[in-house]
Amino acid sequence: PCLFRQAAFAALEANSKRWTLAVTTPSLPGIWGALRSHLGVAVRTAHALPKDIVCLGTDAGLPPLPAVEVRLLRAGNASAAASQLCEILREETIKLLQLS
């Protein structure tokens, strides 16, 4: 199950907002297509949002959402190659998301 979807449903329910599930898709292009067709709203991070998709928030009457956590887990007995890959992924993710 999608954590974004669960967070959206919980926030809507907690704030007594009426909603109807209009589209279900396993793909990000499917989500963008549904949004471009004005079939509803979706919960995503603002990172890499297509320029033609509008980001809505509480000022649009939507309930606040919890923060999203990104974790990279590595086994204690990971090989040197796996450890190096984890470090590269960590560094690149920080750069990409502009985290500190």
Q: What token pair was written down for 84?
A: 């190096």
Which pairs with CB-CB distance under 8 Å and at least 24 residues apart come from 78-83? none
Q: What is the DSSP letter of 58?
A: G
Using an 8 Å Cβ cutoff, are 40 and 56 in contact? no
**pLDDT tens digits for the chain (100 residues)?**
688 899 999 999 999 999 999 999 999 999 999 999 999 999 998 888 899 999 999 999 999 999 888 889 999 999 999 999 999 999 998 888 775 4
Domain boundaries, the chain: 3-60, 70-100
Question: In terms of pTM, does the model score above 0.85?
Answer: no
Nearest to 88 by CA among 80, 17, 52: 80
pLDDT at 99: 57
CA-to-CA separations, 86 to 38, 79, 96, in angstroms, rounded: 39, 11, 15
Work out the burial of residue 100: count CB atoms within 10 Å of its CB; fewer than 13 is exposed, 13-18 middle, 19 or more buried.
exposed
